[in-house]
Amino acid sequence: MFDYTFSERMSALQPSAIREILKATAGKDVIAFSAGNPSPASFPAAAMAEIAADIFRDNYAGALQYGITEGLPSLREQTFDRLKAKFSIGREFDRLIITSGGQQAIELATKVLVNEGDTVICEDPSFIGALNAIRSYRPNLVGVPMDEEGIDVAKVEEILKTDKRVRMIYVIPTFQNPSGGVMSLARRKALLELAERYNVMILEDNPYYELRFAGEHIPTIKSMDDKGRVIYAGSYSKIISPGMRIGFCVAPEEIINKMVVAKQVSDVHTNQFFMMLVSEYLARYDLDAHIKGICDLYGKKCDLMYSELSKYNNGYFDVRKPEGGLFMWLTMPKGNGAELAKLCAARGVAVVPGSAFLADESKISPCIRLNYSLPSDEDIVRGIKILCDTAAEYLSGK
């Protein structure tokens, strides 16, 4: 057989550890705290079924035909108007493109902006899917640690001062994946000010923003962006359905135009039928009310996971209670999250080791990430007990 060599940009890239865990556990009887999946109860399935039938009856020719790369005009307009009215996102100079999930917005933004060898700053830990998308264009990826207020902006400025090739700062300011943390307003302002001063772009990835079930709303960085420094990636995955792969990106017109060219060569356009379906859903139904239902559900699941943890957590984990999003982040006083994850998997509980989210994946992390949106209440109760028992054994041997 032929021995294949791959491009330099892809040869070092491995499949996402999380997706491999998901694949390995698919269909098996495990308690999955490892996913990033919304609850199926969060899908407005009855409404979607009704709209789908209407589209097949009234406009199948349009829904099954090629569409334009920018995305369905009505959906672009509805999405932009909603972001503007509800969150003050978008200025005169901004435009919106529909993407195949929020993931594609990150990949396209990197493709059009970042040359090989440019520096990209990210939070450390951060979302593995985004880090790999960025890595696939061979930048120098530099992770900056976070504290309770978010990314260490002093450290960011240090890098900006010395490294003239910084092109982009990638952050998930709200309900960060994996840490669950929220960047403070002061830090958001400071980061934007740094981007303006040092002539770099911010990529604000914000798929969990509307999933707040406690605490106070904090403005997005994009809502403060009067100078066209912020590329905003959002998604309908967590508030309608992830399987349909519909996200969006708001950025200055010039950047969106270039992303359109990049999307054209990537997948021509996003699934036309589901763009119509979401557009019609927004027209007929109250998305805000639907989201409120999701928040109530996740708030309860988060409470349950946290209270179960509190019962059995005998100093094994440091945990901060999330105010929204999908994830709880657990830090052990010592040890390796990957070792704990392996032990848990053997007992039928899947969790993601913290090292999977590091800019430098070869480092050891004493953390694990838990998801509370997907597992049933029963699984949460059973799984947290197993997790704590396993941690007790693991840490006693350390």
- How far, CA to CA in Å, does 313 sit from each of 298, 317, 318, 381? 21, 7, 9, 13
93 part of the interface to a copy of itself, by CB under 8 A = yes
User: What is the sign of the dihedral through the CA atoms of 369, 373, 375 and 381?
Assistant: positive
Taking the C-alpha atoms of residue 206 and residue 187, their distance in angstroms, rounded to an integer, is 16
> Hey, which residues between 64 and 83 contact a copy of itself (CB under 8 A)?
64-69
378 part of the interface to a copy of itself, by CB under 8 A = no
- How far, CA to CA in Å, does 34 sit from each of 19, 41, 238? 9, 18, 16
114 part of the interface to a copy of itself, by CB under 8 A = yes
Please provide the distance, in angstroms rounded to a whole number, between the alpha carbons at the two ends of the chain: 47
Q: Which is nearer to a copy of itself, 158 or 253 (CB)?
A: 253
Q: Which is nearer to a copy of itself, 181 or 242 (CB)?
A: 242
202 pairs with which residues across the strands? 169, 230
258 part of the interface to a copy of itself, by CB under 8 A = yes
Taking the C-alpha atoms of residue 206 and residue 149, their distance in angstroms, rounded to an integer, is 17
> Hey, which residues between 209 and 228 contact a copy of itself (CB under 8 A)?
227-228
165 part of the interface to a copy of itself, by CB under 8 A = no
Query: Could you say which of 254, 288, 360, 377 contacts a copy of itself (CB under 8 A)?
Result: 254
126 part of the interface to a copy of itself, by CB under 8 A = no
Residue span binding a copy of itself (CB under 8 A) among the ranges 81-89, 214-222, 242-250, 326-334: 242-250
Give the nearest distance from C-beta 125 to a copy of itself in angstroms: 17
> Hey, which residues between 272 and 291 contact a copy of itself (CB under 8 A)?
272-274
Taking the C-alpha atoms of residue 301 and residue 305, their distance in angstroms, rounded to an integer, is 6
Taking the C-alpha atoms of residue 145 and residue 123, their distance in angstroms, rounded to an integer, is 6
100 part of the interface to a copy of itself, by CB under 8 A = yes
Give the nearest distance from C-beta 175 to a copy of itself in angstroms: 18
Q: Which is nearer to a copy of itself, 114 or 332 (CB)?
A: 114
One-letter amino acid for residue 338 of the chain: A
